[in-house]
Chain A
C-alpha cells in the first residue's frame, strides 16, 4: 500500500472530467486498484457488494461512489479529493462529480491542478460536453489535458476509431490554447492502458495513463521569473525582529536584492530570508522561490502590512482599480451591478463593483452571446472597478496573481471566481500589456535586426531538420554529412547533437521519461533560437514519441520544422550497434532502451524517409541536402 518511504517524491494534482456515462468512476477505481492503492478491507467490501448483486466481477466504480449515495440524498458535493502514491509521485485527485453544476464544480477542481483527464466514450466520440469540459479546463489555465478515449473494448479496440477522435479533438482544441494534449486509448472496465499496457491494442505504443501521470514534466509550470510576494502577516515577536510572513506566489527572491513594496513604491533590500528548519531551528536560505512559505526581513523599516506586495523594481505588476476578467458565477443569486462585492486577490481585500458585462459565453456552443447579468454556472467577460487598487498580472501569465474571488457583502458567500485578462492600463503608468501578450513570463525584447534580414544575408531560410530514428539507424552520420555539404555550398548550417547537449546544457537530466521529454524540449528551444539567428539546424535525436516531436514542431514553428525519419529495421540497427548499446540493453544493463525495452513510434507522415538499409550514406546525404535546398529556398 505505502510504496514509498522517505524517498524523493514529487506532487502532482490532477482532476477528472467527463459525462456521467463515460466511465469516470470506473477509470478512477481502476487507477487506484491496479496501482495497488486500495486497502484490503475496501476490496473485501467490493467483493461483498458483487456477491449481493450476483455480478461476476467487482465494480471498481464503487470505490469512488461514496458520493453517489449522497447525491441521491440531494446533497451537493462539488469536489471530493483522493490521494494515492506511486514510487515516483504523490497524487492529489480532485474528483468533481455533478451533471447539474458541472461548471462550478469543474472550475473549483481545475483551479489548482497540473493536469485534467478528460474522458470520452469511444462510441460517441467528442460531444458537446467534451468541448465544454475542455473549455473550462482551458479557462482555468490547466496546463495539460489527457484525453482518455474510454470503452475501446466496445469498438473492437479499433485504431481507426481512436484516430478519428484524436483528429476531432485536435481540430476543436486548437483554439483553446491548452499547452499540452495527450491521447490514450483505454478500457477502464477491462483495465487496458490504465495502469497495465493493453495486449489488445498493440498499435498503441505510447504511455498508459499511470505512466503519463508518473512522468509528465510539470516543473516548468512554476513561474520563476516574476517575483511576487504578497505579504500575509507582519511578524513582530520582539523589539529586535520585524519580518513579513508570506508565500512566494511566483519568481525567486534573493538576499541582498532590491525590492519595491506596493502600493507605497518604497524601496529596500532583502536583509534575510527566515524559515524554521528541522526542529524549529532557524534556517536562513540565501534565496527562496515560488511556493516557499517564508519570512522576509528588509534592511529598512518600511510601513508594510497585510495585502501589500514585494516585487522587483524592473518587474512590477499592473497597479489598477479597473480591469477586465473572465468570471465564473458561483453564487445562488445572480450578479447585480448595484451590489458592492468584497474582492479577495492574493492577500489583499477591497470592494468591487461590476461596471460592465462585455459578453457572456454560451456554454453549449462556446460562442459569445449578448451581455446580461451572470447567473449561477454562467461565464462571462466583466469589467470590474475596485475601491482601492490591486496588483494584478493576467491569469494566463501568472495563475497565482491573476485570480480573485468575489464575496457577497451580506451572506459572505463566495459568489464568483475571476481570471484577470491582460488589457487595461496601470494607474502608475506602468503598462505591461506588451510583455503580457507573450506567453513567456517576461518582457520580450524586439530586436533591431530581424530574422528576415539575417536570412536574406545568408541566402536561405532558417529551418530545422529533425532527424528521428532508432539508435544506430544512421542519424548522426547523415546529419554530419549534410552539415558538411551545406556548409561547403555556402549555407550557414549547424549539427545539434543530442550527446553533446547532454554534456553541457542538459547535463542535469537523466533518462527517465520526463527527463527525456525535457531534453527534447530544450533541444527544440535551442534549435528555435538558432533558427532565429538565421542558421539551418540539423537535429539528431532518437525522439521516439510522436508527442515529443509534435511539441518540438510547436516550439520551432510549423513552417520551419522538417521531420526526417531515418529508417532502418531494428535487426539492422542492432547488427551495426556502433556504441555497443544494444548489447548492453539486451543484457538488461540499460533500462528504457528504445526498440528493446521501450517503444518507438515511427512518424506517420514525415517530410522525408531515408531508408538506410537500402540507400548508401552519400545517397541519403544527397537526398537530404536536396530537400533542404528546396525548403529553405537556397
Chain B
C-alpha cells in the first residue's frame, strides 16, 4: 500500500516545517510524549533529515504517572532510533506528593506538566519546542498557529500571535522569548492512524486491545495499576477487553471497550467511531468527591 496523495502532501508539509525549525533556531527540541502523535512526529523528523539522523535532542517531560509500558517503549525507541533523549520531572511537586486525587486534574497538570515543561525549557535553554498537537483535537486548538509565539514567561498571548500566510514562518525571537511549533497542525486522528498503518510505525502496546484490569464508571473504563494503590479506589475491579484511544497519565486516561488488537483493526474501528477523541479522554476528578480529598489534603 502507498500513501494517498493527501497523506503525502501532509507529510511533505510537516517535513518542511521541521526543517524550518532546524534552520531558524539555535536550540530546538522535539517534545516527545510517547503517544501515537509523538510516534508520527519522530518518524517525520527521521524523514526530514534523512540520510542524516535527527539533529536535535528529544525531550520527554515526565509526570511520573505514565504507564510502565510507556517508559519501556520510550527507552526502546530512543535506543533503536538513536536520538539524544532529555528527561525532566517537577521533582519538587512530586516530592510533595502531587497527584490528581489530591489536587484535581487541573492543578495536577499545572504542576507536573506546565511547570515541569517551563522548567525543562529553561534548564536546556530551548528557543523552539516542537510538539505533536493537532488543530482538530479540540476547539481551542483550531486557531493555534504552526509557529506559536511565547513571551519571556513562556505565556501564550492570543493577541500577540503572528499572522501566518502561505508557508512563510516567522521564527524571529527577542531575548527570553520562545516558540512552540506544531508540524502536525493539519493532521486528523484518522490521518495519524492511516499513516501509522502505512508507514508501519511502532506504537505503545496500550493502543491495542487486550484484557485489562479496570474500574467501570459510566462510560469510562479507569485503569487499575498494580503498583499504585490509588487506582484501586472507588469501585469494583473488572477484567475488560479494552484499549486506549489516547494516552496520558494513567490516572487520567480512560480506556474504551474494543477488540482491535492490530493497527488494521484500529483503523477499521475509527471508520465507525461516533464520538470525539476528547469524549473518552479526560476523566474529570474535579468532582465533589475529589474536592473533598483536596480539602482533606489541603496542606499542598
Q: Name A's B-contacting residues (CB within 8 A).
A: 1-11, 39-42, 66-67, 70, 75-83, 85, 89-90, 92, 104, 107-108, 111-112, 232-233, 235-238, 241, 243, 245-247, 274-276, 278-280, 282, 291-293, 295, 306, 330, 342, 344-347, 399-400, 403-405, 407, 411-414, 417
Contacts and interface: CB of A to CB of B under 8 A. Distances in A.
Interface stretch (B3-11, B87-95, B206-214, B289-297): B3-11
B198 A83 contact: no
Contacts of B161: 78
> Which of A7, A89, A245, A344 has the largest count of B CB atoms less than 10 A from its CB?
A245
B6 A9 contact: yes
Contacts of B199: 278-279
Contacts of A346: 168
Given A111-B166, A403-B165, A75 B159 contact: yes
B143 interface: yes
B271 A5 contact: yes
Given A8-B5, A306-B23, A403-B168, A412 B50 contact: no
Given A83-B186, A90-B6, A108-B164, A66 B271 contact: no
Interface in B156-176: 158-159, 161-168, 170, 172-174
A75 B158 contact: yes
A452 to B, nearest CB: 42
A330 B163 contact: yes
Top-8 shortest CB links A-B: A237-B52, A276-B50, A412-B172, A66-B139, A276-B47, A111-B165, A11-B6, A293-B15
Contacts of B191: 90
A332 to B, nearest CB: 10
Contacts of B275: 39-41
A237 B51 contact: yes
A78 B135 contact: no
Nearest to B2: A278
B267 interface: yes
Given A1-B273, A405-B168, A9 B5 contact: yes
Given A83-B136, A83-B186, A237 B16 contact: no
Contacts of B140: 66
Given A39-B274, A70-B158, 18 more contacts: A2-B190, A2-B271, A5-B194, A5-B268, A5-B271, A78-B163, A83-B135, A83-B186, A85-B188, A233-B19, A282-B50, A293-B11, A295-B50, A344-B168, A405-B168, A405-B170, A411-B174, A412-B172
B257 to A, nearest CB: 16
Nearest to B140: A66
Interface in B267-292: 267-268, 270-276, 279
A231 to B, nearest CB: 10
B9 A291 contact: yes
B109 interface: no
B49 A235 contact: yes
B1 A6 contact: yes
A96 B84 CA distance: 40
Contacts of A412: 170, 172-174
Nearest to B172: A412
Given A11-B6, A275-B47, A407-B170, A232 B273 contact: no
Contacts of A347: 23
Contact of B4 (A9, A79, A233): A9
Interface residues of B, number: 64
Nearest to A235: B52
Contact of A6 (B10, B173, B198): B198
Interface of B: 1, 4-6, 9-13, 15-16, 19-20, 22-23, 43, 46-53, 135-136, 139-140, 142-143, 158-159, 161-168, 170, 172-174, 185-186, 188, 190-191, 194, 197-200, 267-268, 270-276, 279
Contacts of B15: 247, 293
Given A8-B5, A81-B186, A280 B47 contact: yes
A345 B276 CA distance: 39
B273 A233 contact: no
B168 A404 contact: yes
Nearest to A10: B5
6 contacts: A5-B267, A40-B274, A276-B46, A279-B200, A407-B172, A412-B173
Contacts of B274: 1, 39-40
A91 to B, nearest CB: 10
A344 B24 CA distance: 12
Given A8-B4, A75-B159, A293-B16, A417 B9 contact: no
B19 to A, nearest CB: 5
A399 to B, nearest CB: 8
Contacts of B19: 232-233, 245-246, 293
Given A6-B197, A6-B198, A245-B19, A67 B143 contact: yes
Contacts of A10: 5-6
Given A6-B194, A81-B143, A108 B165 contact: yes
A112 B167 CA distance: 8
B279 A39 contact: yes
Nearest to A89: B6
Contacts of B43: 280
A484 B68 CA distance: 83
Contacts of A9: 4-6
A67 B139 CA distance: 9
A282 to B, nearest CB: 6
Given A417-B163, A417-B165, A247 B198 contact: no
Contacts of B194: 5-6
B5 A104 contact: no
